[in-house]
Structure 1
Amino acid sequence: MAKHIIPVKKNEELTLSFEDLTHEGNGVTKINGYPLFVPNALPGEVGVVKVVKANKNFGYGKLLELTKKSSERIEPTCHVHCGGCQLQHMSYKLQLEMKQNQVKNVMKKVAHLDHVPIHPIIGMDNPFNYRNKVQIPVGEKNGELITGFYQRRSHRILENLDSCSIQNEEINQIVKATRQIAGRIGIKAYNEEKHSGELRHIMVRTGFVTNETMVVLVTKTDKLTNKDVLIQELTAKFPHIKSIIQNVNNKRTSVILGEKTKVLWGEEYIHDKIGDITFAISAKSFYQVNPVQTKVLYEKALEYAEIDKDDVVIDAYCGIGTISLFLAQKAKKVYGIEVVPDAIRDAKMNAELNGITNAEFYVGEAEKVMPQWKAEGLKADVIIVDPPRKGCEVDFLQAMIDSEPKRIVYVSCNPSTLARDLRILEDGGYQTMEVQPVDMFPQTPHVETVVLLERKFV
């Protein structure tokens, strides 16, 4: 058998032209058919590349110099390499094209659905300053508190990053003020290596419509030095702060939030609105970080569901009830399922907050709850599913198929697992009718997708 020859060597420098993009936004070039993936390179460009890794079937390179630039290249608004905004060097038009192509490719290659209409991706008018939440680590340097995102693939803080182009600008200012006040009044930063100190993270979340803001101080210790001074100064400087929370995480872990949460000042919740629905949001609530596009996403899911007043709907992975309560405005009954007890508590409270009485919420795993409901005679007309990035478990997909709803609306944050699951649903008797990508996270490679499936009646 002939030995497989790799046409490049590690540390070799080559002048190469780029022809495509990966789903992560890396430039793709080929040497005798061997693909090399290079961050920060765009199709149509030519540049000097240093080979940093050469695997058997593909390699990675580092762009040293550009000798020909693409017309789609733009100057990034941020030059901090935290890894959060990998696409700032490309025009927003090219970002949308890349995400559209990603969805098209997986629909064809993974789901084998060449015939399904994939609508043009819905982008944002302003693809910056959209995030309503930040969780930022706190460290110490030369006796001073520092805040900033971790450098990509490290735990080194890129210090005092006081402006982030995808964060709400007021959130940036609150983080900066919290760091400055905390440092002045003697609060010590958490030291990861020594497992000592107090303040680990500062989390800020804000209501897009209400402007109500919550500050969460994640600490190693129950005690927080001079907390009353911190509260007084923060609330005086930012009067729309409605809630200051302390979350205690005393474990050696990279998980941000601990189990214990207490209100230091103000309310346990802030509120926000999506359309006509008001949501109460706690420190631990899952709530979409881009409120503008969340409304777009949910309206599309509601459109695809085609719910009327006689329909019974199941919302699997219902979270705090965000989609469920939208659906309940039109449906006869909505049943929400979620494995996280705190989320179900919040969902019930949100239903009550909005005077919605035709939505019920249950703690459990959807693949176990749904067969039980079917055995008890509950018949769902429509099922909505919005799973995490790993997609749906096979048992859950089968439970949906066995429930025989007339429609399934699948909301996905990962095109690859979406396509895998669509293939299973297709083989189980459902037809994919249309696909709508939505850009929830501009400047990043992530894309959300809403898909309508209908049952094939034989």
Structure 2
Amino acid sequence: MGDDVQLSCGPGSPRKHTLELDTTTEINTKKLKVEYENDSDCKDRSDDSDDGQREDEAMPETDQSINSSDAVPKLDPLSYTKTNEFTSEIFKIQIYNLPTFGFSDLKKRLKSTLGLNPHKIKHISNTLVTYVCFRNEADRDKALRRVNGHRWKGKVLEAKIAAPMADPYLQKRLQAQEAKSSQQTDSAPSIESLTPEEAEARLKANICPLWNTDYSQQLQIKVEKMKTVLEGISKHDFIKHLFEDRSKKKGMCELLPIIPSPVITEYRNKNEFSIGFGLDGKTKMVGFRYGLYKDGCTAIGDCTNLGIAMPAAIPVVKSFTEFIRKSKWEPYVQHSGTGHWHTLTVRTYLTGDVMAMVDFQPRSLNEEEIEAAQYSLKEFYTQGEGRDVSITSLYFRVLGGKGIRDQTKLQHLCGQTHVHESLMQLKFRISAEAFFQVNTPATEKLYELIAEWANVSPSTTVLDICCGTGTIGLSLANKVMSVIGIEMSYPAIQDAKANARINGITNAVFHCAKVEDIINKTVNSLSSPQYQDVVAIVDPPRAGLHKDVIKCLRRCEAIQYLIYVSCNPASAKNNFVDLLRPETGRHKGLPFIMDKVRPVDLFPGTKHCELVVLFKREETTASTNNPEVMAREDTATGSTQGVPEEDTATGSTQGVPEEDTATGSTQGVPESAAVLPGEPNLSL
């Protein structure tokens, strides 16, 4: 159905691989580095954009789970291993006595040298212990035979069967139950025992932790956080001189004042609401959770008074709450694996467009039953009590076995297929799963800064990396010779091409591919004489760019200016270092210098903001192919225990918070219980 087809959902409607995590292991809580192999259930957002939810969308600071009643007859943290649901935790081994290694080295050793087929690899930070999970008993036993006694870098490896990981929610509840039975009085009060006022404060603190902090103080908190990141970068021996030469204080480049958001409440245009039960464990709710799954909290709180979502989202939430309370299908319960209604995503824009997308966990339902649930939703909003709610577009999505969002199973129920937003005097089409910044007024401020720093001219070519729906490149198109956009999300690229047509822009081309797969070809094309003035603008997901992309950008002599927009500078700092480091055999091309930095607040109420960094090409470098510099570089950034340079500076989600940014699953939760619904994650 095209955009020119005007349908209404009701009479009132108008016309859109590596993770760092905290989790409970067999012994205690440790930080793990996890890489998934052949795992369709746990995809890294940096390599797969199926969910259309970029990490930098800054949803609430919580993992995403569905609540259920706390009345569990018998709390068993390993109950997930006793169901018919697949989990590789029951086919896990532990490998000891490993040498210092990199993740890619370990993968190659296991797969190529030993001929194994690992399902996922989990390395405990700062140790030489690694867990490896397999899909079946035969693969696990084969690994035990081949790993034990295997020599690698002078070490003789040892392996043994490892116990499954405990479900963190049930583990926490069990601990609370045991504390209560032993009459311990020093434990924290449970969420269920809080007064309504205390519960509301708890919910606000979980979703937007700075909600009770004066906005000027919020901005200062964010500035101090950015200073800490920059100070950390300046400590690298091989780039320290750049900061010392240019700095006026604390070894940093110029840090300009933070740009505040024009709106500090009711600004979020995209929100993912959990579906579950309230504090009483019985009342069906649609909203946000009071706490983390791993902390034993699954209760859903009322989101209508938080003041973070745009007002147009609230009627949708209220109407959908009434719908699920009357539905024959129950909310999905993670730890018990029951129920079906999973997540409600609402996108609202200044144009008045509203999109609602409902995720449904089929479990054991057949096709007819799934279609019945889908029909009931459509009927509610077209003929039932929800028909007066203004919804421009309504979608229904059947989740995969582990709650994985599959674009091919996204069903358009009624209304338009896309929504639209106005930005920088342009009109942008947004598909259901495409990324779009969550704070439109603040995004205008961000793009104005980018345009100022890009200093473009009619001879400029803009290389828009991780371009999404094309917003940055298209906002500059009328000032430059050409725009080249690269984005791995197919729906987003289709939007970008449509947006060029909608706005009459003919000098922009967009490519759908992983940046690391196409960047070499793209950069080589820029070596032609007509491309003498190239400005690269990168706006990647939370983890930053793949190391190969950074190397390629350095090699492109035509790129004299590079603007890096980071939603999580702590994760992107390795990209920064690789742009700054002296030229060596591994890092060819003149380095950049960090000219100036400016934070932009897109996420009021949280501790996060965007950081915009202007890199300029260094004209000369005395360190090219200098053995001493190369040795120092290798010492500073070479392989560490389990985390080599190639994994800390890549698009893999190194250093992301506790949840899987692609699936919403909590890391450390067994696969059969690992799906958490999408509440807003204001983390970035």
TM-score category (smaller protein): 0.7 to 0.9
- Can you list the C-alpha shifts for 1:355-401, whole angstroms capped at 9, x where unaligned? 11111111223234222234344546110011111122221111111
1:178 aligned to 2:340? no
Distance 1:296 1:234, change over 3 A: farther
Q: Which residue of 2 aligns with 1:156?
A: 298
Determine the C-alpha separation between the residues in 2 that align with 1:86 and 1:76.
Answer: 14
Q: Which residue of 2 aligns with 1:33?
A: none
Shift of 1:257: 6.2
Determine the C-alpha separation between the residues in 2 that align with 1:257 and 1:177.
Answer: 25
What does 1:238-317 correspond to in 2, within 5 Å?
Answer: 238-239=389-390, 241-253=391-403, 255=404, 259-317=408-466
- Can you list the C-alpha shifts for 1:233-253, whole angstroms capped at 9, x where unaligned? 4664223x2111111114223
1:120 aligned to 2:257? yes
Counterpart contact for 1:77–1:165, Cα < 8 Å: no
1:217 aligned to 2:371? no
Determine the C-alpha separation between the residues in 1 that align with 2:326 and 2:482.
Answer: 54
SS at match of 1:174: helix
Counterpart contact for 1:164–1:172, Cα < 8 Å: no
- Identity rate, percent: 28
Q: Mean alpha-carbon deviation: is it higher for 170-179 or for 372-381? A: 372-381
SS at match of 1:287: coil
Determine the C-alpha separation between the residues in 2 that align with 1:444 and 1:216.
Answer: 25
Shift of 1:77: 8.4
Higher relative contact order, structure no. (Cα contacts within 8 Å, ≥ 6 residues apart): 2
Distance 1:374 1:448, change over 3 A: closer
Counterpart contact for 2:378–2:414, Cα < 8 Å: no
Q: Which residue of 2 aligns with 1:436?
A: 598
Counterpart contact for 2:497–2:510, Cα < 8 Å: yes
Q: Which residue of 1 aligns with 2:616?
A: 454
Distance 1:444 1:76, change over 3 A: farther
More helix by share: 2
Q: Mean alpha-carbon deviation: is it higher for 315-324 or for 340-349? A: 340-349
Counterpart contact for 1:122–1:437, Cα < 8 Å: yes
Shift of 1:193: 4.3
> Aligned AA for 2:354?
T
1:129 to 262, 266, 291: 266
1:105 aligned to 2:105? no
Question: What residue ranges of structure 2 are gaps of 5+ in the alignment?
Answer: 1-59, 62-186, 190-197, 236-242, 244-250, 363-369, 582-589, 621-684
> Aligned AA for 1:314?
L
Counterpart contact for 2:516–2:549, Cα < 8 Å: yes
SS at match of 2:570: helix
SS at match of 1:360: strand
> What is the TM-score with the length of structure 2 in the denominator?
0.53
- Can you list the C-alpha shifts for 1:14-72, whole angstroms capped at 9, x where unaligned? xxxxxxxxxx99xxxxxxxxxxxxxxxxxxxxxxxxxxxxxxxxxxxx999xxxxxxxx
More strand by share: 1
Counterpart contact for 1:163–1:172, Cα < 8 Å: no
Shift of 1:317: 0.8
Shift of 1:145: 2.7
SS at match of 2:571: helix
- Can you list the C-alpha shifts for 1:168-216, whole angstroms capped at 9, x where unaligned? 12312320111113423545323334544442111110112x0110111
- Can you list the C-alpha shifts for 1:70-95, whole angstroms capped at 9, x where unaligned? xxxxx998541572211223222211
Question: What residue ranges of structure 1 are gaps of 5+ in the alignment?
Answer: 1-23, 26-61, 65-74
> Aligned AA for 2:353?
E
1:373 aligned to 2:527? no
What does 1:226-241 correspond to in 2, within 5 Å?
Answer: 226-232=376-382, 233=384, 236-239=387-390, 241=391
Shift of 1:138: 1.3
How many corresponding residue pairs?
386
Determine the C-alpha separation between the residues in 2 that align with 1:295 and 1:78.
Answer: 32
Determine the C-alpha separation between the residues in 1 that align with 2:406 and 2:209.
Answer: 26
Q: Which residue of 2 aligns with 1:400?
A: 553
Counterpart contact for 2:203–2:289, Cα < 8 Å: no
